[in-house]
Amino acid sequence: MKLLLISLQSNASLIGLKYIAANAHAHGHDVRILLLPGYLENTLHPVIENFIRDYNPGLIGIGLMSIEFYPAKNITRLLKEKFDIPIIWGGLHVILKPEECIKYTNYVCNGEGETAVVLLLEHLKNNGRDVLPDIPNILVNDKGKIIKQSKIVPEADINSLPVIEYLPDYFYGFHRNKIYNFAQNQKLFHSYSLYGGTCHMMITTRGCPFYCGYCANAYTMTVFGKKIRKRSVENCIEELKTVKKHLYVLYINFEDDWFFAHDREWIAKFCDEYKKHINLPFMVRVFPGVLDKEKLFMLRDAGLSLVIMGIQSGSDRVNFEIYNRKVRFSSVMKAAEIISESKVAPYYEMIVDNPYETEDDEMESISCMVKLKKPYTISLAHLTFFPGTLLTERALKENIIDPDAYLTRYMVKIDKTYFNKLLYMAPYIPRFLVKYLNKPKANRKPIHLLLTNILFFVVKRTIEPAVFFFVLTRGLNYNISWTVRTVLGNWNAGLTKLLFNYLGRGDMRYDQRLALAKKTTPALFEK
């Protein structure tokens, strides 16, 4: 069978679809991946139509995050107008809202898809479309009647799955009205990839032990269970050996929600094998309050260059009562001290635009962040109310949110408020200035607003990039050449983020297309 997997996201850094493709390919099926970034056109481009017609797949899979819901509806409609090919949706948004998604397609995968998609391919090959499949993780739309599968079954042994490639030779992209094979046009692939394609995105675990009220993982935990499934060191190194063959890859981005779920024995073995066979800089995500210093320093010795740590709020009230995140800021400070001592590049994440946050909470967050040892960099994210989370359920009951807002807004597109600007600047300007500007609205004077706007402009375009360049260089053990190559590889997206509102170039283009589509094709946005 031939399987065409379509991604609608704005960049080419896919993990989920690569796993689906690799497993289908390993089971003898022919596979292609096609990147159609935010496709919202009213008609199917002839080049896309001819590509699909020539390939003639037996099944089309569409992977989507919530932000790609409307492009998924759109492309599915266009495909059904031209082809009689069954379509399956999958991805995080489908797991969150399977019964809504199934209205628009033939099948949805409301669990992990590696095994489910292979079973569906084999069913279609052996039985055809007229026989309804009974496959775990698959819902069926039988002419408007929804047929549910018996149960959702997570992948029990993720070590048994084929490792994914940095750039499969069956990866294609739609660019300026043409379709290119990315493996044969690697420069184009790099332009669509996060960080300019200089890093390989990788996961070593599936699952998260924390039940944060705002996080979609809190819902997926009810689907997949609380157990964290882990890959072996051997399995991880096997993938990384194939990645290292691509000389353009400068470092590895481990996207595990909590890399430190691995025990010390695993970490020690991994570090030994990593230094021996890979020896590239890498980044991990950590959780304050349970940061293991010994593990951190072992990883640092193996090449760890950047640590991402979610702080979310400096207010203990917000973290405990609103976010269900039982981490006091005193624990954050201890973790930040350990990170600073290790001399890796610290990158701290905060959530803003929270309707439950008071002015006092915002001021407390800013006051707390300036207490952390500098230098560090900061990332702000708009609070997104994903379906099924504790916070979303509360907000819906209290009627304070638009239940569909998460479908059209990037988390990194934050509001340009006074406190957001000041929080963003907290790592980069003197404490006395932060203290002077950190005032409630009732006490602000025109000089506070003027000074904040001027400083924000200067910080965003000069000081913040300089600090990031320094901490990154230090994280890379002052290897200037490696730092320059990393920065140059990511200059395209970085330039856009400097000029616009934290979005990458592809995100900006999609944001503009989505706004236009709301005006030109309002029917697409109807339920």
Q: Could you report the per-residue pLDDT of 477-503, keeping only the tens digit for each? A: 888 877 777 766 665 555 555 545 567
Instruction: Answer yes or no: are the C-beta atoms of 254 and 284 closer than 8 Å.
Output: yes
Using left for φ > 0, alpha for ψ between -120 and 50, and beta otherwise, residue 15 falls in alpha
Instruction: Answer yes or no: are the C-beta atoms of 38 and 510 closer than 8 Å.
Output: yes
Dump pLDDT digits (tens) for 108-133. 999 999 999 999 999 999 999 999 99
pLDDT by residue for the chain (527 residues), tens digit each? Answer: 999 999 999 999 899 999 999 999 999 999 999 999 999 999 999 999 999 999 999 999 999 999 999 999 999 999 999 999 999 999 999 999 999 999 999 999 999 999 999 999 999 999 999 999 999 999 999 989 998 876 788 998 999 999 999 999 999 999 999 999 999 999 999 989 988 888 899 999 998 888 899 998 888 888 888 889 999 999 999 999 999 999 889 899 999 998 999 999 999 999 999 999 999 999 999 999 899 999 999 999 999 999 999 999 999 999 999 999 999 999 999 999 999 999 999 999 999 999 999 999 999 999 999 999 999 999 999 999 999 899 999 999 999 999 999 999 999 899 999 999 999 999 999 999 999 999 999 999 999 999 999 999 999 989 998 898 888 888 888 888 777 777 666 655 555 555 455 677 778 888 889 999 999 999 999 87
Of 79, 133, 73, the residue nearest 101 (C-alpha): 73
Give the count of alpha carbons within 13 A of 84, CB side only. Answer: 3
Helix (H, G, I), strand (E, B) or coil at 45: coil
Name the pairing type of β-strands 171-175 and 30-35: parallel
How would DSSP label each residue in 163-208?
PPPSS-TTEEEEETTEEEEGGG-HHHHHHHSGGGGTEEEE-SEE--
Separation CA 308–CA 389 (nearest Å): 23
DSSP 253: E
Separation CA 56–CA 83 (nearest Å): 10
| The two three-digit tokens of residue 497, written as one number | 């983020």
Signed CA dihedral, 482, 257, 167, 301: sign only:
positive
Judged on CB neighbours under 10 Å (0-12, 13-18, 19+), 296 is buried
Q: Where are the alpha helices (DSSP H) in 318-463?
A: 329-342, 359-369, 390-397, 418-425, 431-437, 446-458
User: Cis peptide before 136, with omega less than 30 degrees from 0?
Assistant: no
Of 127, 119, 61, the residue nearest 91 (C-alpha): 61
**Chain CA centroid to CA 302, Å:** 25
Name the pairing type of β-strands 2-7 and 59-63: parallel
Helix (H, G, I), strand (E, B) or coil at 375: coil
Quote the strand ranges of 236-365, DSSP E: 251-254, 282-286, 304-312, 345-352
Dump pLDDT digits (tens) for 268-315. 999 999 999 999 999 999 999 899 999 999 999 999 999 999 999 999
Separation CA 480–CA 467 (nearest Å): 14
DSSP 9: S
Separation CA 525–CA 469 (nearest Å): 42
Separation CA 383–CA 201 (nearest Å): 24
Beta bridge partners of 159: none
Helix (H, G, I), strand (E, B) or coil at 516: helix
Residues in CB range of 199: below 8 A, 6 or more apart: 249, 250, 251, 252, 253, 283
Q: Please calculate the CA angle 260-413-207 and round it to the nearest 5 degrees.
A: 25
Only one residue has tokens 């980044």, namely 283
**Chain CA centroid to CA 384, Å:** 13
pTM metric for this prediction: 0.94
Residues in CB range of 335: below 8 A, 6 or more apart: 286, 288, 289, 291, 309
Instruction: Answer yes or no: are the C-beta atoms of 108 and 138 closer than 8 Å.
Output: yes
Domains present along the chain, CATH in parentheses = 2-159 (3.40.50.280), 199-489 (3.20.20.70)
Give a three-class secondary structure readout of 105-168: CCEEECCCCHHHHHHHHHHHHHHCCCCCCCCCCEEEEECCEEECCCCCCCCCCHHHCCCCCCCC
Look up residue 422 and give its amino acid: L
